[in-house]
């Protein structure tokens, strides 16, 4: 993939402001309001959206909010789209969440692959705040 494009300062600053507002809502477990802020930020990313580093972190935020709201379909769309953006492949959190979504959808082979990517980057620690079923599942697929 070619180098990511850089946003102009005004666009970058507004995206950052919106994402920080979203993060404040997320820290208070208000994921619906967080999602609204992240989606506003997403609308500011120019086309082609897959060429911007900002797309990666905005989509991860959108996907995480959707995941925490129980909207696995929207979360999956966000994470799968993010995989086409700069710096996504190898991002342990993105692999963790995508693996969780795939596991919950019964796609165990793909889930194991994504969860193992997260595990290999961060170890068991990345799984600690999560439902233990995901690490237990990974343990059935690999020696961890």
CATH number of the domain that 60 lies in? Answer: 1.25.40.10
pLDDT for position 5: 76
Range of the domain at 69: 7-85
Q: Are residues 36 and 51 in the same domain?
A: yes
pLDDT for position 91: 97
Q: Are residues 31 and 75 in the same domain?
A: yes
pLDDT for position 6: 84
Query: 21 pLDDT band (50/70/90 cuts)?
Result: very high
22-26 own/partner pairs: CB under 8 Å, 24+ apart: 22/61, 22/65, 23/61, 26/61, 26/64, 26/65, 26/68
57-62 own/partner pairs: CB under 8 Å, 24+ apart: 57/19, 58/15, 58/19, 59/85, 60/91, 60/93, 60/94, 60/97, 61/19, 61/22, 61/23, 61/26, 61/34, 62/35, 62/38
Query: 1 pLDDT band (50/70/90 cuts)?
Result: very low
Could you report the per-residue pLDDT of 118-140, keeping only the tens digit for each? 999 999 999 999 999 999 999 99
Q: Are residues 43 and 64 in the same domain?
A: yes
pLDDT for position 3: 60
- Whether 2 is in a domain gets the answer no
Q: What is the pTM of this model?
A: 0.93
Q: In the predicted model, is pLDDT for residue 2 greater than 70?
A: no
Domain boundary among 61, 85, 109: 85
Q: Are residues 111 and 143 in the same domain?
A: yes
Q: Are residues 75 and 29 in the same domain?
A: yes
Query: Do residues 18 and 57 touch, judged by C-beta distance below 8 A?
Result: no
Domain boundary among 54, 69, 85: 85
Q: Are residues 124 and 68 in the same domain?
A: no
Q: Are residues 95 and 124 in the same domain?
A: yes
């Amino acid at each position: 993939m070619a180098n990511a494009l850089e946003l102009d300062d005004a666009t970058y600053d507004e995206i950052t402001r919106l994402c920080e507002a979203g993060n404040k809502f997320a820290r208070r477990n208000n994921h619906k309001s967080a999602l609204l802020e992240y989606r506003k930020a997403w609308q500011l990313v120019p086309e082609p959206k897959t060429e911007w580093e900002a797309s990666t972190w905005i989509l991860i935020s959108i996907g995480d909010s959707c995941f925490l709201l129980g909207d696995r379909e929207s979360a999956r769309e966000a994470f799968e789209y993010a995989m086409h953006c700069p710096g996504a492949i190898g991002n342990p959190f993105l692999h963790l969440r995508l693996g969780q979504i795939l596991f919950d959808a019964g796609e165990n082979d793909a889930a194991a692959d994504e969860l193992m990517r997260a595990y290999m980057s961060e170890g068991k620690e990345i799984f600690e705040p999560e439902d233990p079923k995901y690490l237990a599942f990974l343990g059935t697929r690999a020696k961890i």
